[in-house]
Structure 1
Amino acid sequence: MPERDLVSCNAMIDGYGKSGKCELAEQVFRSMNKKDVVTWTSMVSAYVFNHRPKEALGLFREILNVGIRPDAPALVSVLSAIADLGFVDEGKWVHTYISTNKIKLSSGFIASALIDMYAKCGHIENAYHVFKQVSHYKNVGDWNCMISGLSMHGLGHQALEVFLDMKTKEIKPDEITFLGLLNACSHEGLVEEGKFCFKLMQEKYKIIPTIQHYGCIIDLLGRGGQLDDAVEIVQNMPMEADVIVWKAILSACVQNGDFAVGESAALKAIELAPEDSSCYILLSNIYAKVGRWDDVRKVRLMMKRRGVRKIPGSSSILVNGKVHEFLVGKEMDVKCNVEVLSKIEEVVSRLKLEGYKPDLTQVLLDIEEENKESSLTLHSEKMALAFGLINTSNGAPIHIVKNLRVCCDCHSFIKLVSRVYNCRVVVRDQNRFHCFENGSCSCKDFW
């Protein structure tokens, strides 16, 4: 069999990566005696595409170690991986590499990737600094990344200001611009402003809303307490509602306590996405909130029969250059386990003296009150925070990345920790950033 040439191997890595067959891409990559910059870039991109950011970052380090100068696509991919991980130190190092090697921010999508990385790592000021350096290029992608970054941080008014600046500079917005704006309005409760943007995109810019735009406006109305209006939009959309739309309705029902509409939305979401565990969990939560424990058990049994597993809550924290992950139900290192649990116990005791009362309504299980409090104590973000308090010097901010939405009890808990322990805590959850300082949160308790 003739030896495969470099070009065909690179094409195979790229093809396997984009089709979700990352292991096959790895096999081809490791079997190659000769590799060029395209080979390395394709493999980094494959890791990023398949949600394996740690491997992407590790391979990027290998690129530098073997003396290959990474190209713009490689830099964009590794910045995307760092954004997924949520820890900024590596991103700052890559930014320095770009500057030191005089690589233009306008090369490829480097500026957009830097803005996105800084925003997703909780450093919105750095994102804005990069944005101001390149805004004169009038690349709509850079402006979209800035608007989306501000949205993620709950800075809806600032996102709208950037949009107004776009109009002043005569930069034509696209459908992604309006997705960012609608999300920004949703995350800050700017219902009227969001309605205006939804109307503007259609009437002035002739952009036909996609299902994603409808999902955003429905989420905005639901979060804003206008559930009837949200349901009316679902009924009048020019396309069938997808699972994202029904989950937006479902989340609003959980928030507003509308059992009947929520149950109906949950069943439709499960029908559309029977493998999505969050649909079952939200339905289970609705039943639990009204004490229908038999129905809770039926939902859990349905999940078991269908082989659907609940995504466990996990939180990560970067300490001394190493990522530490805390996962409920996962064994920790014995020494770490003892230290963390001891610290949590100390923190809870101290916070109770300051008026903290565990929000037992957040435990949607049919168990005794005492066990509910113990369950709350072991939420992953509390463990990560305790680890941060143990291992972070006084005054240094604590950055935590959580894979799910932070619960109300943990939110109140971290707010109080930030005041009592005089520390700044930044939490990136599934939806947005929360910056806790002096007993307050940047989200203004709206998330």
Structure 2
Amino acid sequence: MVPISELPTLYSSMAAVSVLPHFTANPTVSLLEKCKSMSELHQIHAHMIKTGLVHHTFAVSRLVAFCSLSGVCGGLDYAASVFPRIQQPNCFIFFAMIKGFADSASSLNSILLYSQMLSYLDEFDGVQFSIPSVLKACGRSRAFGEAQQVHGHVLKTNFQYDPFVSNSVVRMYLDLGEVGMARRVFDTMPCRDVVSWNSMIKGYVEAGEIDLARALFDEMPEKDLFSWNTMIDGYGKCGKCEHAQELFQMMKHKDVVSWTAMISGYVLNHRPKEGLVLFREMLSLGIQPDAATIVSVLSAIADLGFVEEGKWVHAYLSTNKIRLDSGFIGSALIDMYAKCGYIEDAYRIFKSISHRRSIGDWNSMISGLAIHGLGEEALEIFNDMERYDIKPNEITFLGVLSACSHGGLVQEGQYFFSLMQESYKIVPGIQHYGCMVDLLGRAGHLQEAINVLQEMPMEADVLAWKAILSACVKHGHVAIGEHAALHAIELAPEDSSCYVLLSNVYAKAGKWDNVAKVRSMMRQRGVRKIPGCSSVLSNGVVHQFLVGMEMDMMYRGRVLLKLEEVICRLKLEGYEPDLTQILLDVEEEDKENLLRVHSEKIAVAFGLINMKQGAPIHIVKNLRFCSDCHSFIKLVSMVYNRKIIVRDQNRFHYFQNGSCSCKDYW
């Protein structure tokens, strides 16, 4: 968008026509600078028609420029209706129309207007101002043939010596995905400036060619902040945080984008703690975070699952009067509270932005309710969306289908899977099909789940086959489990969970020889099982407990004594360890000893010691709950009168008064 106040300067720089002083000072033309709406524009245009001013090229050019470039609603369509009536359109009028369409959803019109301009004008002086917009339109429209024709015209007219034009050619080829052609243009440019180098580096980064980007970055004669930030962001997105950190530390001057790129890189690569450390350092240096920083930080907190830092960020937003509808902050805040186990707070945020909700806010609320097992409530939110005429997207339906899966709402899930296709014309992606497989598998409809996999228009991914495998463990289907495991292991040979799930299928069926074969296969392939790990936040410190008895020696004795006390007390209440959860061929006594040192049991014992009476115990676990630990914690919540909240690999479990929010369906 070009501010209307800048148009006289732009116009005169194009030297398209001779501008008479009395036209520039004309009160009617001057009113265009103050115009703020289409209704005001209609009045000015009517006056121009009545006074004959509309026949003067300069005056009508200002009218078209306002309509095309000011961004006023309906302006571009109005400009398109005025344009055919202009008797002698000049380069500036064509420029305004071409740029307006290039920035719109109808960018192809820019190419047509450019062709019309070349056939209409006698000389090409001033045409170069429109070329960057035409090139942009070619890139946006994926119009490769037209792009080459415009490029050819640039070469014929020697416009490649204009740095704005040549940089636009590079950017156009990058937008078209033609990185090689962009590089050839870059290498032959008569004059390369910092924009040229940055465009090429960014193009390599976007194409995933991070090593080529780094080579060009190192060769670059003069780097600016954009150069450094692009490389840091690129390294973060391709999983090379150490390289990003190296560049970050080398920077003499950093802005908020630099810090955000580094924090985002840590979060994307599942290193949320390091992201939060960097965020605190950023604040200590007095650098104000922007919306993108806040979203990344809230995502890091959501990954960790502990809310105290999130509450501080929320307070920071309130203190600094940062609006929740700025960027994606509202969605990220809802997501953070939901993933930290505070679904009521998530809902309060959702209600507080009732008049300014984005589709992301609705999606975050539905997904949050889904992971809390509140399927019916999630569907109510979806119904509210429909009542408010908010059009759901593919992410909305992922949340809805997930809610149905966690809540065992099979018929509802099938209904919404059909609804998204028939009513909203959304083509299901592999994740939607995966949700349906999970929904049917959890409910024991394994053959129907297999049918979904076979009827998918794309190849099933490892997550879909693992959903089948998990259902086979739960419902005891060995043959289907073997079939699913073969596909899962073929797709992800280094994923230990594929082997573990197959081993569990065999163990549940008492096929210990097959269990041994699976374990042997894992050893031969160097695949290691991920150990169970549970975390508890106490006094601002995250304490982690691994399956077995690995923990801080400072707490070891007290925690194990407390665990023994808890087990003895629960046995008096009727607790019987579920030895079927130990999927090893060992003696029953050994099985019970292995059960008692599951990480979530140790975390509960730690919480009972260190958390005040009445305070809920929040636990984050990296794997799925086993049914023995689930029964154990249900009894603890009743006997010790404690509220215990556990987030496992898939969802939340709220334990209170001897029951769980999942209703034993997970």
* TM norm structure 1: 0.98
* Amino acid across the alignment from 1:225: G
Matches within 5 A, 1:148-297: 148-297=367-516
| Map of 2:523 onto structure 1 | 304
Correspondence 1:322 to 2:547: no
Most deviating of 251-260 and 426-435: 251-260
In 1, Cα distance between equivalents of 2:621 and 2:560: 19
| Map of 1:81 onto structure 2 | 300
Matches within 5 A, 1:329-408: 329=548, 331-408=550-627
| Map of 2:266 onto structure 1 | 47
CA RMSD of superposed structures (Å) = 1.2
| Map of 1:91 onto structure 2 | 310
Most deviating of 28-37 and 410-419: 28-37
In 2, Cα distance between equivalents of 1:27 and 1:304: 36
Q: Deviations over 1:273-309 (max 9, x none)?
A: 1111110000001111122112111111111111111
| Contact 1:185–1:193 (Cα < 8 Å) also in 2 | yes
SS at match of 1:315: strand
Q: In the TM superposition, what is the alpha-carbon distance from 1:5 to its structure 2 partner?
A: 3.5
| Contact 2:375–2:409 (Cα < 8 Å) also in 1 | yes
| Contact 1:135–1:143 (Cα < 8 Å) also in 2 | no
| Map of 1:435 onto structure 2 | 654
Most deviating of 383-392 and 286-295: 286-295
| Map of 1:29 onto structure 2 | 248
Q: In the TM superposition, what is the alpha-carbon distance from 1:3 to its structure 2 partner?
A: 7.1
Q: In the TM superposition, what is the alpha-carbon distance from 1:329 to its structure 2 partner?
A: 4.8
Q: Deviations over 1:230-260 (max 9, x none)?
A: 1121222222222111111111111111111
In 2, Cα distance between equivalents of 1:210 and 1:34: 43
| Map of 2:173 onto structure 1 | none
Correspondence 1:313 to 2:516: no
* Amino acid across the alignment from 2:228: C
In 2, Cα distance between equivalents of 1:327 and 1:4: 47
Most deviating of 295-304 and 347-356: 295-304
Most deviating of 32-41 and 434-443: 32-41
In 2, Cα distance between equivalents of 1:78 and 1:439: 35
Q: Size of the alignment, in residue pairs?
A: 447
| Contact 1:153–1:434 (Cα < 8 Å) also in 2 | yes
SS at match of 1:173: coil
Q: Which has the higher contact order (CA 8 A, sep 6+)?
A: 1
* TM norm structure 2: 0.66
| Contact 1:249–1:265 (Cα < 8 Å) also in 2 | yes
Q: Deviations over 1:22-44 (max 9, x none)?
A: 01111111222321111111111
In 2, Cα distance between equivalents of 1:429 and 1:211: 24
| Contact 1:156–1:188 (Cα < 8 Å) also in 2 | yes
Q: Deviations over 1:110-138 (max 9, x none)?
A: 00000000000000011011111223224
| Contact 2:470–2:501 (Cα < 8 Å) also in 1 | yes
In 1, Cα distance between equivalents of 2:467 and 2:428: 17
| Map of 2:327 onto structure 1 | 108
| Map of 2:102 onto structure 1 | none
Q: In the TM superposition, what is the alpha-carbon distance from 1:333 to its structure 2 partner?
A: 2.4
In 1, Cα distance between equivalents of 2:255 and 2:426: 42
User: Matched residues, percent identical?
Assistant: 70
**Bigger CA radius of gyration:** 2
Q: In the TM superposition, what is the alpha-carbon distance from 1:76 to its structure 2 partner?
A: 0.5
Correspondence 1:141 to 2:374: no
In 2, Cα distance between equivalents of 1:387 and 1:90: 21
SS at match of 2:354: helix
Q: In the TM superposition, what is the alpha-carbon distance from 1:339 to its structure 2 partner?
A: 1.2
| Contact 1:115–1:128 (Cα < 8 Å) also in 2 | yes
SS at match of 1:70: coil
SS at match of 1:239: coil
* Amino acid across the alignment from 2:493: P
* Amino acid across the alignment from 1:154: G
Q: In the TM superposition, what is the alpha-carbon distance from 1:335 to its structure 2 partner?
A: 3.0
In 2, Cα distance between equivalents of 1:150 and 1:82: 18
SS at match of 1:435: strand
SS at match of 2:355: helix
| Contact 1:138–1:171 (Cα < 8 Å) also in 2 | no
| Contact 2:476–2:509 (Cα < 8 Å) also in 1 | no
Q: In the TM superposition, what is the alpha-carbon distance from 1:14 to its structure 2 partner?
A: 0.6
| Contact 2:548–2:599 (Cα < 8 Å) also in 1 | no
> 5+ unaligned residues in a row in structure 2: which ranges?
1-217
* Amino acid across the alignment from 2:422: E
Instruction: Mark the CA change 1:344 to 1:330 in structure 2 (over 3 Å): closer, same or farther.
Output: closer
In 1, Cα distance between equivalents of 2:551 and 2:664: 32
Q: Deviations over 1:44-68 (max 9, x none)?
A: 1111011100011111111111111
* Amino acid across the alignment from 1:42: A
> 5+ unaligned residues in a row in structure 1: which ranges?
none
| Map of 1:414 onto structure 2 | 633
Most deviating of 159-168 and 136-145: 136-145
* Amino acid across the alignment from 2:280: R
In 1, Cα distance between equivalents of 2:406 and 2:354: 25
Q: Deviations over 1:320-349 (max 9, x none)?
A: 000000112574222311111111101000
SS at match of 2:655: strand
* Amino acid across the alignment from 1:190: L
In 2, Cα distance between equivalents of 1:123 and 1:232: 37
In 2, Cα distance between equivalents of 1:282 and 1:205: 37
SS at match of 1:181: helix
Q: In the TM superposition, what is the alpha-carbon distance from 1:4 to its structure 2 partner?
A: 4.5
| Contact 2:367–2:400 (Cα < 8 Å) also in 1 | yes
Most deviating of 238-247 and 69-78: 238-247
In 1, Cα distance between equivalents of 2:558 and 2:411: 48
In 1, Cα distance between equivalents of 2:477 and 2:635: 30
In 1, Cα distance between equivalents of 2:650 and 2:552: 30
